[in-house]
Amino acid sequence: MNIESPGIPYNFSDLEPAMSRDTLVFHSLRHQRVCFDRTAALVRGTDLETLSLEELIRTTERNPAQHALYRYAAEVWNHNVFWRSMRPRGGGAPHGLVGEHLGARFGSHERFVREFKEAAGAHFGSGWLWLVWRRGALDIVTTVNAGTPLVRGDTALLALDLWEHAYYLDYQNRRGAYVSTFLEELVNWDFANRTLAELLANGETLAARPRAAAVPVTPARVRAS
Ligand SMILES: [Fe+2]
């Protein structure tokens, strides 16, 4: 198989107290690992075995008969982005490229925080909350269950897992407290900046980018998929 075994890029206890060691252990070694193992079992011995994780997700999403495999593979990828969307002693207002574009899109960090929290609260059931680069600008989107922006042509800059297994041990049913802690103590803007810089360096045009002075502050377009 052409898919790397997943792992978190820090120690299990490094995000404490914002995210407990128990949460990361169960989340990484039970949930994501199970999805990886099932992906491996389903591609073994098939034509799909040589595909990268991204290619596998895009290929299986197009074929309803392969959607069980698509969901497992997408969950591996989604969690890979999620782990990197956090870091020890993270959180706060963004800087760099993302900070510049976030100001252009939302008007202020406070407005972004409000709309990010509103999107998390409005999402029903399991899924994901994303900050993505879409057609030359930042956007907030949600996906249902294992849904991923990868198959929509969006570039994921940040992922926040909205499945209860991501926060129930630490926050029980208080999803809002979990989202606030993510923004205030965990979010890794360096990761988002690196991803956006690579995208722009590889030819993503800024032509469609809204100019700060011309952008009205409007509610985020939150979509479910
Ligand atoms: Fe998860």
| 147 Cα: distance to centroid of ligand 1 (angstroms) | 12
* pLDDT of the residue at 203: 79
User: CA 136 to CA 15: how far, in whole Å?
Assistant: 32
Q: Report whether the peptide linkage leading into residue 17 is cis, meaning its omega lies within 30 degrees of zero.
A: yes
| 137 Cα: distance to centroid of ligand 1 (angstroms) | 27
| 87 Cα: distance to centroid of ligand 1 (angstroms) | 17
* pLDDT of the residue at 219: 33
Note the pTM of the prediction, 2 decimals. Answer: 0.89
Q: Output the average pLDDT for the chain.
A: 90
Range scoring the smallest mean pLDDT among 76-85, 109-118, 149-158, 216-225: 216-225
Residue 12 clears pLDDT 70, i.e. is over it: yes
| 215 Cα: distance to centroid of ligand 1 (angstroms) | 35
| 51 Cα: distance to centroid of ligand 1 (angstroms) | 23
Residue 224 clears pLDDT 90, i.e. is over it: no
| 202 Cα: distance to centroid of ligand 1 (angstroms) | 30
Burial 194-211 (b: 16+ CB within 10 A, else e): bbbeeeeeeebeeeebee
| 73 Cα: distance to centroid of ligand 1 (angstroms) | 13
| 209 Cα: distance to centroid of ligand 1 (angstroms) | 32
| 212 Cα: distance to centroid of ligand 1 (angstroms) | 35
Band (pLDDT 50/70/90 cuts) for residue 205 is low
* pLDDT of the residue at 1: 80
User: CA 143 to CA 218: how far, in whole Å?
Assistant: 21
Dihedral angle, C-alpha 96, 197, 33, 184, nearest 10 °: 10
| 62 Cα: distance to centroid of ligand 1 (angstroms) | 23
Residue 216 clears pLDDT 80, i.e. is over it: no
* pLDDT of the residue at 206: 54
Residue 215 clears pLDDT 80, i.e. is over it: no
Give mean pLDDT, residues 21-31: 97
| 104 Cα: distance to centroid of ligand 1 (angstroms) | 31
User: CA 25 to CA 13: how far, in whole Å?
Assistant: 9
- Ion ligand 1 neighbours (CB, 5 A) are 31, 161, 163, 166
Residue 205 C-beta-side C-alpha neighbours within 13 Å = 3
User: CA 191 to CA 193: how far, in whole Å?
Assistant: 5
| 95 Cα: distance to centroid of ligand 1 (angstroms) | 27
